[in-house]
Amino acid sequence: MSTERDSETTFDEDSQPNDEVVPYSDDETEDELDDQGSTVEPEQNRVNREAEENREPFRKECTWQVKANDRKYHEQPHFMNTKFFCIKESKYANNAIKTYKYNAFTFIPMNLFEQFKRAANLYFLILLILQAIPQISTLAWYTTLVPLLLVLGVTAIKDLVDDVARHKMDKEINNRTCEVIKDGRFKVAKWKDIQVGDVIRLKKNDFVPADILLLSSSEPNSLCYVETAELDGETNLKFKMSLEITDQYLQREDTLATFDGFIECEEPNNRLDKFTGTLFWRNTSFPLDADKILLRGCVIRNTDFCHGLVIFAGADTKIMKNSGKTRFKRTKIDYLMNYMVYTIFVVLMLLSAGLAIGHAYWEAQVGNYSWYLYDGEDDTPSYRGFLNFWGYIIVLNTMVPISLYVSVEVIRLGQSHFINWDLQMYYAEKDTPAKARTTTLNEQLGQIHYIFSDKTGTLTQNIMTFKKCCINGQIYGDHRDASQHNHNKIEQVDFSWNTYADGKLAFYDHYLIEQIQSGKEPEIRQFFFLLAVCHTVMVDRTDGQLNYQAASPDEGALVNAARNFGFAFLARTQNTITISELGTERTYNVLAILDFNSDRKRMSIIVRTPEGNIKLYCKGADTVIYERLHRKNPTKQETQDALDIFANETLRTLCLCYKEIEEKEFAEWNKKFMAASVASTNRDEALDKVYEEIEKDLILLGATAIEDKLQDGVPETISKLAKADIKIWVLTGDKKETAENIGFACELLTEDTTICYGEDINSLLHARMENQRNRGGVYAKFAPSVQEPFFPPGGNRALIITGSWLNEILLEKKTKRSKILKLKFPRTEEERRMRTQSKRRLEAKKEQRQKNFVDLACECSAVICCRVTPKQKAMVVDLVKRYKKAITLAIGDGANDVNMIKTAHIGVGISGQEGMQAVMSSDYSFAQFRYLQRLLLVHGRWSYIRMCKFLRYFFYKNFAFTLVHFWYSFFNGYSAQTAYEDWFITLYNVLYSSLPVLLMGLLDQDVSDKLSLRFPGLYIVGQRDLLFNYKRFFVSLLHGVLTSMILFFIPLGAYLQTIGLDTSYWTFVNAFSIFGSIALYFGIMFDIHSAGIHVLFPSTFQFTGTASNALRQPYIWLTIILTVAVCLLPVVAIRFLSMTIWPSESDKIQKHRKRLKAEEQWQRRQQVFRRGVSSRRSAYAFSHQRGYADLISSGRSIRKKRSPLDAIVADGTAEYRRTGDS
């Protein structure tokens, strides 16, 4: 029994999820997880494992082999994979990116194949073949061929235009250039020509063309600074560093050309933060990790040049592996439309079968006894009925709308252009218009239930701004003059007195500047000195200007603030830091840097002043700083109140403190520090323990408040979308505190929101699973499903959950399974059966748990998932799609959002400074989040309403036209004769009736765009599928049947007039389309009945003068008027009663639209500050990882004169020999 329970374990019950870390990598295998811990394994398992290892020539995870400067090596037979029959290709992808579908040779066959996969097109192809059989066809072949060719041609042209655009984009990327070693020299080559094993050179501001191993660079110790905006949307710089051996030996062109290193590494995967491999060179092996790899999509910054070895190219690169599987997206209306077409097929078959039976009966009773009907054929009535079945399939073929699909495509194309042309979605600052990158999803924009949004670069600008501070209990940053008087309107502080000010800081508190300059309060100067000295920022000078390179934008904002207030960080070496203090340069000795990590939530620096004093300066989250303060801190309460105020304003806060250290105390501590620094095991834990000893009894200086600037209009947009009953979930890789802070800033969260965290959710789900098990078992298929709410009614709740808790809750956490499952020897049938049953129970439990989580999350007004991986983002979207059957939209800006964007029904990319990877994978793109409200509430809603009206009228007009043949059959012996002439049937859908319906589908609008935004509740009709469903379809069918009866029994058709009753937005174009179509009908009718065309085609046009003679008769016109009246009066009456007695929200707004003026300005909700709120939202302003402290302390980032190459070679060889011996 215990063995079975062990085998079902899928997550560690002992381990608590860590909110601070991103969970395991997406592609992590169970073998890798098993290697992380050592357990006692059974003897039989050990024997099996050792035998397995002996059979494998390489380590299991390192099977990818790369040889530098040797393309032929990668073309060996054992690297070739069979692609198709005997055709083989290398397992190493080339670097060309291909997103297009067709080329010049495959376009026609592939496009025709795809089009004939549509049921309607295939049906009409079969129909065309049937019409070539004289025995069954009463219609000319061109009645089907002309519409079919038109449909195929228009669709093919649209597909061709889309694919040409993809070709251009691929060509632009593939034809970018960089320098590659060829024939012993660097030569310019296109990206598409780069191959695995090539050595390349990149320069400042170049994009990285493939995943490369950094060999050397122009920076000290071959550091290389990169911007990863394409990958994660973050614009702060990150650093990579090469191996010491490649840094020393591979600087010159000739040495790079002769480089023959061999690399064994992991297979291509999507793990952006992980890499495992080994470099074999000069008879020595060197371990490789992610810090030495430059990923495709990164941009080289602040580095003049660098050299690299291509490891993964093209489709094998990590950014492409993260793009996820490209899914063919279709709208909800598309699926519904197909089912309705299938319904029409069934109706057509039934009608044809019924009429065929009627003809067989008529032949038996009448036809065989009427000599004047004898046609020379002695066929039986049954056979004649069989032929008539196919005849009616042809005659009634217009019930199946061949032009439906092409008309839908034309409407969607027009709606896409309206989005592209919308100047209110154009971002002038970046010259970025909105772009509909697909033409097939427009109406689905009007049916969105859930929006999944990234945070960094999507909701925020990823720009940190110093806004306020609290120093010695006094808050600074309000609008006030030097006399401490508050003013609503006051000019910005003039920093021209400071030569190092960058002029970018907008600050309005003149009193703080007066205090700094007067020096009356030394704590103020010490506060900004701390900001200038306690950090891991790098600095360089360009044209006399200081440029800071920070590990996080928060830290950069603080150092820049200190610079503007007169305390400028100028330079640093391995052991010193130079600060300009109000114009006076002073250099301090750096004795130790106590770096930040996610557990410490703080960083410190210990310096010796020029006067010889030793001081520790520390900054960190208030929760950890307050625990380490000295008992006697007079401003502790005032600073805490200030923190509450800052948090209420959704600012990111840090506490600053310091202490003076005696020489003896520091000497004792430094011995422990040095010992921990060189510890061979658990070095980080040892250092953290030593840090704790010195970071105590601190004196509080104050707190900073930084604004993580939201994009313009984010709160307003979220408010409007919420009123449209659209729920927004934020999925981000950022820290929990930061994500929560942004939730309050964009007003997803408010002060009266009850927040549930991972542990709360876990306990609720555990209780629900127990209740379900007690009610009949989780796995009982026939147990009645009881939908009980997780929370009591009322109240505003939000869910904030981290990636680690998400894996725990959804049973996605990968850990070691019982070793009994990994036995290699054959199992008995009983063991196999038990294992299968166990796996099924686990899957059922997992599925039920996931469904419960989705139900719980959907009860919350807001959901924020933080510290999640790209795969988890896509998983959350997929769970809502799967269990809620809701229409989803995902919006993001980086490569880490691509999988989510492709998984959602609709993907939106934010274009701008953060890169184009998300945009290239999206369905729609624009520059600012605020444009989302216009995309959905205006364009989406209009598109949905227009498409629904179009489809209802399209089905109606086809039924009304076609079923006249059905009534006519009762008077012609069910003989499949047509009630119309051939050319009228041919041109009916193409010319006579297409334009009015088409223009309504393109131009109609019930209310204006301003009113659509002012009343978001109008959007709900699309979410509930109220305008197009099976009920509406059958109403259109019934309406068509009644109209066809009128058209037959009161001859001549005037049904086109009914479209005017449902046109909400009348323009000259609409009027012209309706009356122009009628005029076109009469014009063509006179032409085909004229003598001139009869002379040209006597066998085809035989009814010369029929039209002119018929229209001279008064009763014809009376019949037309009577028919129109009978068709229209019931519709008018029903419409009038509906709008009077049961008006919709749209009808009410239309009635009062003259009274409704311009849209009211959205008033932002005023936050009520409540003093003493315990749940402070303090988002400590550090990077997610350690900063540059290791680089600074080791001196590897400091420029120094290079030694002669001979000396380097001699010293290096000795060093590597010692390494090899060890």
Three-state secondary-structure class, residue 102: coil
Residues whose CB is less than 8 angstroms from the CB of residue 29 and which lie 6 or more positions away in sequence, other chains included: 61
Burial of 569 (0-12, 13-18, 19+ CB in 10 A): buried
Helices within 859-973 (DSSP H only): 870-884, 898-903, 917-920, 931-934, 941-969
Cα(215)–Cα(202) distance, rounded to whole angstroms? 11
Q: What is the DSSP letter of 92?
A: S
Strands 277-281 and 284-288, sheet pairing: antiparallel
Other Cβ atoms closer than 10 A to 459: 29
**DSSP β-bridge partners for residue 868:** none
- Whether 454 is a known active-site residue: answer yes
Handedness of CA 106, 107, 111, 112 (dihedral sign): negative
User: What is the SS3 assignment for 568-604?
Assistant: EEEEECCCEEEEEECCEEEEEEEEEEECCCCCCCEEE
> Would you state the structure tokens that stand for residue 561, as one six-digit string?
């603030």
Q: What is the DSSP letter of 1162?
A: P
Report how far residue 791's alpha carbon sits from residue 856's, in angstroms, rounded to the nearest whole number.
8
Q: Contact 540/549 with Cβ under 8 angstroms? A: yes
* First and final C-alpha spacing in the chain: 49
Whole-angstrom distance, CA of residue 1085 vs CA of residue 991: 12
CA 523 – CA 511 distance, rounded (Å): 15
Of 1142, 969, 1149, 984, which Cα lies nearest the Cα of 1052? 984
Question: 454, 554, 897, 923: which is the annotated catalytic residue?
Answer: 454
For tokens 């310091």, the residue is 658
C-alpha separations of 297 from 171, 214, 850 in Å = 16, 15, 34
Rounded to an integer, what distance in angstroms lies between the CA atom of residue 1127 and that of residue 688? 85
Helix H or strand E segment including 549:
strand 545-549
Residue 58: C-alpha distances to residues 288, 310, 529 (Å):
16, 21, 55
Identify whether the C-beta of residue 931 lies closer than 8 Å to the C-beta of residue 435: no
Measured CA angle at 370 (ends 365, 373), to 5 deg: 110
CA distance 1143 to 1149: 10
Contact between residue 577 and residue 607 where contact means Cβ atoms under 8 Å apart = yes
- DSSP class of residue 705 equals E
CA distance 802 to 734: 10
Smallest Cα–Cα separation from 280: which of 259, 293, 264?
A: 264
CA distance 1202 to 248: 9
> To which residue do tokens 């089912």 refer?
339
**Of 300, 82, 71, which Cα lies nearest the Cα of 206?**
300
The number of C-alpha atoms within 13 Å of 456 and in the hemisphere containing its C-beta is: 27
Tokens found for residue 802: 């981290």
Q: How far is 825 from 843, CA to CA, in rounded Å?
A: 25
Q: Under 8 Å CB-to-CB from 166, ≥6 apart: which residues?
A: 99, 100, 101
Burial class (CB in 10 A: 0-12, 13-18, 19+), 1073: buried
Residue type, 404: L
Pick from 818, 978, 737: nearest CA to 34? 818
What is the set of active-site residues?
A: 454
